[in-house]
Structure 1
Amino acid sequence: MKSILLICNEGMSTGYLCNKMNEVAQTDNIDAKAWAIPESALEGHYRTADVIMVGPQISYLLDSIRQRVNNEIPVGAINPVDFGRINAKAVLDHALSLTDKQAAS
């Protein structure tokens, strides 16, 4: 199962998107589980994730987050349009594509 960690300022704005992503995964028989935390809790949780998706409101922290996880896990930005529209399928597909790219490396 792919573990997708969503992070934002407080973990709340990604919470709804996270729930929708899990619904899409279940409906489409995709072996993935999304969960959300605030950015401040990253160090205590990232090791159980296969990919980290960063909310648009903190996308300026992408490089910092990559450094904080020692580039061990792919880190991607959630597209602001997909985020705003709660396009869970697009965000899920993007997250899974990042794990596929790392597996191919």
Structure 2
Amino acid sequence: MKKIVLLCAAGMSTSLLVNKMREVATKEGFECDINAYSVSEAQKHGSEADVILLGPQVRFELSRVKSLAKCPVDSIDMRAYGMMDGAKVLQQAKTLMGL
């Protein structure tokens, strides 16, 4: 099972996107664990992740999070985030994991 971590300012706004991504994953039969946390918890939760995606509001933290992580890290497409497009963001995570 793949672990997808989303990071944002406080872990709140991204929670909505997590729910959308979970719905898409269920429909696709893609087994994964998707959770959102504050970017301040990057080291704690990022060490166990298969991929980390940053909300657009914390994309300035990208290089710092990359230096902490042992997995692919990228910022979420701003348009997909604004539209809460769970399918597009899940696909971004899969692509980063090479799936």
Q: TM-score range by the shorter chain?
A: over 0.9
Residue of structure 1 equivalent to 2:93: 95
When the two chains are superposed, the root-mean-square deviation of aligned CA atoms in Å is: 1.1
Q: Which runs of 5+ in 2 are unaligned?
A: none
C-alpha distance in 2, partners of 1:77/1:42? 13
Find out whether 1:80 has 2:44 as its counterpart.
Answer: no
- Could you tell me the percent identity over the aligned residues? 35
SS state at 2:30 partner: coil
Amino acid across the alignment from 1:54: L
Q: Note if contact 1:8-1:55 (Cα within 8 Å) is conserved in structure 2.
A: yes
Amino acid across the alignment from 1:89: A
- Cα displacement string for residues 37-60 of structure 1 (whole angstroms, at most 9, x for unaligned residues): 001111211122100000000111
Normalized against structure 2, the TM-score is what? 0.95
SS state at 1:3 partner: strand
Q: Note if contact 1:50-1:74 (Cα within 8 Å) is conserved in structure 2.
A: yes
Residue of structure 2 equivalent to 1:13: 13
Normalized against structure 1, the TM-score is what? 0.89
C-alpha distance in 1, partners of 2:73/2:97? 9
Q: Note if contact 1:25-1:32 (Cα within 8 Å) is conserved in structure 2.
A: yes
Residue of structure 1 equivalent to 2:41: 41
Q: Which runs of 5+ in 1 are unaligned?
A: none
- Cα displacement string for residues 57-87 of structure 1 (whole angstroms, at most 9, x for unaligned residues): 0111111110122xx1100110010000000
Q: What is the deviation of 1:98?
A: 0.4
Q: What is the deviation of 1:33?
A: 2.1
C-alpha distance in 1, partners of 2:33/2:77? 19
